[in-house]
Amino acid sequence: MVHESNRKRKASVLRSFRKVHRITASLLFLFFFVMATTGILLGIKKHSGEMIQAKTHQGTSTDFKEWLPMDSLYTNACQAFTDSVSTNLPAKVPRIDVRKGKGTVKFIFAKGFWGVQVDGATGNVLRIERRRSDFIEMLHDGSIVDYLAGSGGGLFKLIYTIVMGAALLLFTITGFWLWYGPKQMRRKKRE
């Protein structure tokens, strides 16, 4: 009798896990689909033939002593952005990526997912690029909502990361028990 009651309790737990697993999956399906798809794209970005991420071009010198001052490089990048991309978008640069080994500085603009690669030594523009990988990354981590809302605090990204991480942990636990529980119950039944 104790064995049968124990079996019923385990079956009830499995049913509860199945229900939690199914409901959570139904509610978060779209988010997991976007996260999985963008994760794949980010994983292959360097092997996409520059469709997702442009290659970093080689500058003329990797020696900082031969480089122009950062403000000169910045001015050149902003001028190239204004002349070639848009006079309507602000030439605001929240991020500068210095690639000493390539002799290149990448200026990443705040709006429109644009970047300008400049030769550190000559100040010549090496490439004006559409930064698709930045857009995909923002979709992946949820920060696209903060970007579109203009909120710099990243509150949505924080909530999104916590919810998706907790859901993945929940799926792992419930998924394991949905696989292991029936095996354990069959083994107990044979005993």
**Edge-to-edge strand ranges of the sheet holding 104-108:** 95-99, 104-108, 114-119, 125-130
65 exposure class (CB count in 10 Å sphere: 0-12, 13-18, 19+): exposed
pLDDT-derived band at 189 (thresholds 50, 70, 90) equals: low
SS3 call for 17: helix
| pLDDT for the residue 16 | 83
Q: Where are the domains positioned within the chain? A: 2-45+139-190, 54-130
pLDDT exceeds 70 at position 33: yes
At 19, list the tokens. 């229900």
Q: Write down the residue that tokens 């991020």 correspond to.
A: 95
Higher pLDDT, 143 or 190: 143
What's the pLDDT tens digit per position in 91-130? Answer: 889 999 999 999 999 999 988 899 999 999 999 999 999 9
Tokens 């490089």 appear where? Answer: 73
pLDDT 10s digits, 51-90: 999 999 999 999 999 999 999 999 999 999 999 998 888 8
